[in-house]
C-alpha cells in the first residue's frame, strides 16, 4: 500500500539512553526524495548539534518517540531553538516485522509522520512541566507516609496498644501527642492528660494504652517509624508550598477546580500541572479522557463487544481522579447519587473508575468555559438561607424591621 505524503520535510528521532538516531526525509520541488540518517550522542553538546542540524533541515514536523524519560532532553533542546516536536506514543509506531533496528525505526517513524499517520501527545508548557517534578514526587511521598503509618499501627498493635480502637485518626493531634509521650516512657497519667478534645473517656484510653507488652524493642522501632513519618510530612509541606507558589499565575483555575466536590487545594494543584489549563490542546472531553486512560476501551469484533477495560494512560491523573471520586461519593451532591446507582450494577471498583471519568469530563467543561461548578441536586439558595437566616433575623429585630418576640 502506498502512503500518500502530507508533509514534505520531516525529521524523526529514535531516542535511547546514550544515543539519538535521527532520520530526515525531504521531498524536493522536482519530486526527488532525499533521506538523511544521523546518529547523535546524549550529552549536552550532542543535543545542541542535533538542534542545529534540525534548523538546517527546516522540517515541517519533528516527531520523537516517547521512550521513558529520555525524550525530555532532546525535546527541550529543540524547544530552545524554536522547534516544537511531536512526542508520539510508542504503541502507535510499532515497527512492522523485519524493521527492528534503530535506523529502521527512525526511518519508519519518519515515513508515518510524512504520511500524517501520527498524532502528537499532549505536552504541557515548560512552567507546568517543571512543576510536575514537584507534584509527582509528592504523590510518592504521600504513599510512603501512608505505608509508614500502617507500619506504626502494626507495631503498636503487636505491643498491645489499641489506641486506634478508641480514636478515629491515630495520627491526629491528640493521638500523635499521646503516642509520642508513650514512646518517651512517660507515666500513664501524663499521657492521658494529652487527650485534648478526644471523645473517648479517660477510662477507655487507659485500657487502650496498656503497656504491659510494650518492650524496649517495640519502643525503639515505633520511635524510628514515627520520626520517619514526621520527616516525610515536613518534606510534603515544603513541596506543597513550592507547588502553590509556582501556580500563582493559574490561581483563577485553582479556585475554579476547588468548587468541584471532592477536590481540595492540593488536589486541584496536582491535577492542573498534569492536564494544564488550556483545554484547546485536547479539543474535546473524549480525547482528554482517552489521554488519561479513564474512559471505556474499544474492543469489538463481529458486532460483539468483548471488553470495555480501560487502556493505559496517565497513571498520575488517574490516581488523582479516583481519589476525587471516592471523596465526592461521600458528599451531598449529584456525584453521590451517580456512585450509588453505579455500585448496585458494577460494584465498588468499577463505579469509582466510572465516577472518575464523569469528574474528568466535568473538569474539562469547567476549564474550557471558565464557569464554576453548579450541582444539580444541591439547592445552593436554601443552603445560603439556612446558614445566614439566624444572623439576618437578629439584625432585623435589632433595627426594628421586625418586632421582637418579647414585644409581641
pLDDT of residue 119: 82
263-297 pLDDT per residue, tens: 999 999 999 999 999 999 898 999 999 889 888 77
Q: Read off the pLDDT of each residue in 108-119 and give the average, rounded to a whole number.
A: 84
Q: At residue 301, does pLDDT exceed 80?
A: no
Q: At residue 75, does pLDDT exceed 70?
A: yes
Q: Are 109 and 263 in contact (CB under 8 A)?
A: no
404 dihedral zone (left: phi>0; alpha: psi -120 to 50; beta) = beta
Range of lowest pLDDT (217-231, 299-313, 353-367): 299-313
Handedness of CA 99, 100, 104, 108 (dihedral sign): positive
Q: Read off the pLDDT of each residue in 223-230 and give the average, rounded to a whole number.
A: 95
pLDDT of residue 78: 93
pLDDT of residue 208: 85
Q: Are 335 and 263 in contact (CB under 8 A)?
A: no
Q: At residue 95, does pLDDT exceed 70?
A: no
pLDDT category of residue 84 using cuts at 50, 70 and 90: confident
How far, in Å, are 93, 117, 240 from residue 4 at the CA level? 17, 10, 50
pLDDT of residue 59: 92
Query: Would strands 86-88 and 33-41 be described as parallel, antiparallel, or unpaired?
Result: unpaired
With cell 444541591, the residue in question is: 378
pLDDT category of residue 311 using cuts at 50, 70 and 90: confident
With cell 525503639, the residue in question is: 220
Q: At residue 201, does pLDDT exceed 90?
A: no
Query: Would strands 304-305 and 61-65 be described as parallel, antiparallel, or unpaired?
Result: unpaired
pLDDT category of residue 399 using cuts at 50, 70 and 90: confident
Q: Provide the strand spans (E) within 302-390.
A: 304-305
pLDDT category of residue 2 using cuts at 50, 70 and 90: low
pLDDT of residue 205: 87
pLDDT of residue 98: 52
Q: At residue 257, does pLDDT exceed 70?
A: yes
Instruction: Give the percent of the chain with pLDDT over 90.
Output: 45
Q: Provide the strand spans (E) within 181-327.
A: 300-301, 304-305
Q: Read off the pLDDT of each residue in 177-181 and give the average, rounded to a whole number.
A: 90
Q: What is the rounded CA–CA span in Å between residue 338 and residue 353?
A: 12
Listing DSSP states for 16-40 in one string gives -SSEEEEEEEEE-TTS-EEEEEEEE
Q: At residue 374, does pLDDT exceed 80?
A: yes
Handedness of CA 377, 379, 384, 389 (dihedral sign): negative
Q: At residue 334, does pLDDT exceed 90?
A: no
pLDDT of residue 68: 81
Q: Read off the pLDDT of each residue in 52-62 and give the average, rounded to a whole number.
A: 92
pLDDT category of residue 380 using cuts at 50, 70 and 90: low
Instruction: Give the percent of the chain with pLDDT over 70.
Output: 91
Cβ-based neighbours of 263, under 8 Å, separated by 6 or more:
257, 271, 324, 327
Q: At residue 307, does pLDDT exceed 70?
A: no
Q: At residue 67, does pLDDT exceed 80?
A: no
Q: Read off the pLDDT of each residue in 117-126 and give the average, rounded to a whole number.
A: 86
Handedness of CA 398, 400, 403, 407 (dihedral sign): positive
Q: Read off the pLDDT of each residue in 358-365 and give the average, rounded to a whole number.
A: 94
CA atoms within 13 A on the CB side of 215: 5
Amino acid at each position: 500500500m502506498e502512503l500518500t505524503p502530507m508533509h514534505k520535510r520531516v525529521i524523526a528521532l529514535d531516542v535511547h539512553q546514550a544515543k539519538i538516531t535521527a532520520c530526515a526525509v525531504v521531498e524536493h520541488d522536482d519530486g526527488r526524495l532525499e533521506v538523511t540518517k544521523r546518529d547523535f550522542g546524549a550529552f549536552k553538546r550532542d543535543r545542541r548539534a542535533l538542534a542545529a542540524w534540525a534548523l538546517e533541515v527546516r522540517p515541517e514536523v519533528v516527531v520523537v518517540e516517547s521512550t521513558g524519560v529520555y525524550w525530555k532532553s532532546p525535546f527541550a533542546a529543540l524547544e530552545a531553538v524554536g522547534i516544537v516536536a511531536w512526542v508520539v506514543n510508542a504503541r502507535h509506531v510499532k515497527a512492522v516485522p523485519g524493521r527492528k533496528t534503530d535506523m529502521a525505526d527512525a526511518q519508519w517513524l519518519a515515513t508515518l509522520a510524512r504520511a500524517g499517520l501520527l498524532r502528537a501527545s499532549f505536552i504541557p508548557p515548560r512552567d507546568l512541566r517543571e512543576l510536575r517534578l514537584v507534584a509527582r514526587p509528592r504523590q510518592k511521598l504521600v504513599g510512603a507516609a501512608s505505608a509508614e503509618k500502617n507500619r506504626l499501627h502494626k507495631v503498636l498493635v503487636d505491643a498491645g496498644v489499641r489506641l486506634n480502637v478508641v480514636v478515629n485518626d491515630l495520627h491526629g493531634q491528640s493521638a500523635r501527642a499521646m503516642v509520642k509521650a508513650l514512646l518517651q516512657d512517660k507515666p500513664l497519667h501524663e499521657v492521658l492528660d494529652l487527650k485534648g478534645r478526644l471523645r473517648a473517656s479517660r477510662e477507655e484510653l487507659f485500657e487502650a494504652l496498656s503497656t504491659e507488652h510494650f518492650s524496649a524493642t517495640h519502643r525503639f522501632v515505633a520511635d524510628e517509624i514515627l520520626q520517619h513519618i514526621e520527616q516525610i510530612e515536613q518534606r510534603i509541606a515544603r513541596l506543597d508550598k513550592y507547588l502553590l507558589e509556582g501556580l500563582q499565575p493559574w490561581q483563577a483555575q485553582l479556585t475554579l477546580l476547588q468548587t468541584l466536590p471532592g477536590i481540595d487545594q492540593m488536589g486541584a494543584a496536582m491535577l492542573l500541572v498534569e492536564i494544564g489549563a488550556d483545554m484547546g490542546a485536547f479539543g474535546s472531553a473524549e480525547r482528554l479522557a482517552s489521554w488519561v486512560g479513564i474512559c471505556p476501551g474499544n474492543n469489538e469484533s463481529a458486532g460483539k463487544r468483548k471488553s470495555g477495560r480501560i487502556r493505559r494512560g496517565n497513571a498520575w491523573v488517574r490516581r488523582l481522579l479516583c481519589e476525587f471520586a471516592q471523596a465526592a461519593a461521600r458528599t451531598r451532591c449529584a456525584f453521590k447519587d451517580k456512585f450509588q446507582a453505579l455500585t448496585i450494577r458494577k460494584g465498588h471498583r468499577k463505579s469509582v473508575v466510572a465516577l472518575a471519568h464523569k469528574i474528568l469530563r466535568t473538569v474539562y467543561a469547567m476549564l474550557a468555559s471558565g464557569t464554576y461548578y453548579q450541582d444539580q441536586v444541591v439547592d445552593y439558595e436554601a443552603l445560603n438561607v439556612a446558614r445566614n437566616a439566624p444572623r439576618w433575623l437578629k439584625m432585623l429585630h435589632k433595627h426594628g424591621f421586625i418586632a421582637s418576640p418579647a414585644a409581641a
